[in-house]
Amino acid sequence: METTLLNNQGSKNNSIAGEKLYSLAMVEAVSGGNKEFIKKMILLFIDTIPKDVILLKNSCASKDWAQVAKTAHKLKSTIDSMAIRSIQQDIRTIETNAKLQTSVEILPDLAEKINHTINTCIVQLSGEIA
């Protein structure tokens, strides 16, 4: 699966102040009404996901495609569970292209888009628990 750089640029304009880029519906459903659990999952997201995104970016920069595929695969389930729709397809493109080593030249920009979106999510999520 491939995507073009033009498509990637389209969602870079997401505003921090605008609509939430994620949904906590699944986390809330899983929580069984436990608000502490929801807070714990938000903190865990803020604590762990950026590290993986940085690893994704660095691996793209060093052209370590095996590591890129692994990291993208790992991030995919969290991005899906948080329903971060604007990058769900991009993370899949990164995983597939890195695994097959096709059109890898688009991957650094896609990784940057994911980094940007995740950072926005973190700012928005921090507001949820403030």
Partner 1 sequence: MRYRLPIFNPTMKNQTFKVYIIEDDTWYGSMLQHYLSLNPEYEVKRFETPGDFFAELHNKPDVVTLDYSLPDCDGAEVLRKIKETNPEVRVIIISGQEDVATAINLLKNGAFDYIVKDDDTKDRLWNSILHLREISDLKQEVETLKIQVGRKYDFSEMIIGKSEAIKKVFALIEKAVNTNITVSITGETGSGKEMVAKAIHYNSPRQKLPFVTVNVAAIPKDLIESELFGHEKGAFTGAITRRIGKFEEADKGTLFLDEIGELDINLQSKLLRVLQEKEITRVGGNGTVKIDVRIIVATHKNLMEEVKNKNFREDLYYRLIGMPVNIPPLRERDNDICILAKTFTDNFCKENKLPKKTISPETQQKLLQYSFPGNVRELKSVMELAVVMADDEIILPEHITFNTTSSIADLLGKEITLKEFETQVIQHYLDKYDKDVLLVAKKLDIGKSTIYRMVQMGELNIK
Region class of 103: left (phi > 0), else alpha (psi between -120 and 50), else beta: left
Instruction: Check binding of 19 to partner 1 (CB under 8 A).
Output: no
126 binds partner 1 (CB under 8 A): no
Per DSSP, the three-state class of 35 is: helix
Should residue 85 be labelled a site residue for partner 1 when binding is judged by CB under 8 A? no
**Is residue 113 within the footprint of partner 1 (CB under 8 A)?**
no
We find the least distance from the C-beta atom of residue 122 to partner 1, in angstroms, to be 13
Rounded Cα gap, residues 126 and 123, in angstroms: 5
**E strand map for the chain:** none
* 70 touches partner 1 by CB under 8 A: yes
Interface of this chain with partner 1, residues 31 to 50, rule: CB under 8 A:
31-32, 34, 37, 40-41, 44-45, 48-49
